[in-house]
């Protein structure tokens, strides 16, 4: 009888399995039910209810995962696994050389089709797309802003959060103008959010933008944009906006 040897499991597969196990061990059914209520575009998802702080610890532990394994997490029907993938990508991008960052940026763009929820955008684009394009040509964002895909458009505007942090607000206002009359509420929210953040850096620029658009822009975008204004000033903007059907 021939002697058989036990097949060795490739290290990458074992590591990916270990990452999944570590994440699933932190699941919370009660939290998962609450978590599901925040997402309207993920009807087929499984939610584990893992707290963000706990998921970040798992991401740090498995920050060495190769991109091929991260792609598998990005394509998972488990919402928390996709979140873990984005956390790991952020860690890798932060620690990478310029060449490594370019590789991760390109990988992210190629695989953005796996993003199917607002947190998937918000947890990744500002920390990967934003930093990479900060001192580079930004035409990609204007292309994404005109995409038929909701998440591409959200990537375009939310990526500018990194620009805002570094004192550059022009692209935020330019992209907001393109997206101002978008049909999706999730774009209204993201646009208003970025306008508000831009206003923290340049209030005069925000007020100039609002003077031009506040009467016709979506109410949700306006409410987000003026959230930090004094109550009396907010009331003026809202009263004028609400006077228009």
pLDDT (tens digit, 9 = 90+) per residue, 87-118? 999 999 999 999 999 999 999 999 999 999 99
137 in Cβ contact with 145 (< 8 Å)? no
Which of these, 28, 32, 107, lies nearest to 65 by C-alpha position? 107
pLDDT at 240: 86
Which residue ranges in the chain fall short of pLDDT 70? 1-14, 244-245
Please list the residues that pair with 46 across neighbouring strands: 78
Which tens digits make up the pLDDT trace of 154-178? 999 999 999 999 999 999 999 999 9
Question: Residue 79's pLDDT is what?
Answer: 95
DSSP state of 46: B
Total Cβ atoms within 10 A of residue 151: 24
End-to-end CA distance of the chain: 84
- pTM as predicted: 0.90
Phi/psi-derived region of residue 9, left when phi > 0, alpha when psi is between -120 and 50, beta in every other case = beta
In angstroms, the CA 18 to CA 65 distance is: 11
User: What is the model's pLDDT at position 13?
Assistant: 52
């Amino acid at each position: 009888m021939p002697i058989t040897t036990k097949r060795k499991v490739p290290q990458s597969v074992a590591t990916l399995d270990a990452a999944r196990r570590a994440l699933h061990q932190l699941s919370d059914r009660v939290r998962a039910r609450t978590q599901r209520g925040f997402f309207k575009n993920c009807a087929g998802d499984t939610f584990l209810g893992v707290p963000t702080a706990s998921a970040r610890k798992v991401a740090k532990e498995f920050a060495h995962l190769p991109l091929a394994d991260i792609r598998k997490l990005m394509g998972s029907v488990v919402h928390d696994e996709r979140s873990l993938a984005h956390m790991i990508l952020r860690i890798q991008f932060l620690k990478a050389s310029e060449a490594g960052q370019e590789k991760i940026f390109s990988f992210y763009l190629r695989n953005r089709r796996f993003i199917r929820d607002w947190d998937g955008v918000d947890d990744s684009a500002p920390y990967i797309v934003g930093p990479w394009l900060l001192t580079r040509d930004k035409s990609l964002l204007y292309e994404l802003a005109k995409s038929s895909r909701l998440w591409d458009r959200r990537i375009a505007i939310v990526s500018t959060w990194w620009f805002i942090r570094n004192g550059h607000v022009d692209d935020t206002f330019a992209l907001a103008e393109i997206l101002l009359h978008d049909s999706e509420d999730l774009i209204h929210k993201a646009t208003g959010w970025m306008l508000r953040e831009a206003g923290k850096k340049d209030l005069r620029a925000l007020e100039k933008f609002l003077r031009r658009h506040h009467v016709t822009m979506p109410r949700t975008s306006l409410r987000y944009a003026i959230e930090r204004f004094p109550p009396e000033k907010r009331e003026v903007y809202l009263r004028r906006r609400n006077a228009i059907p």
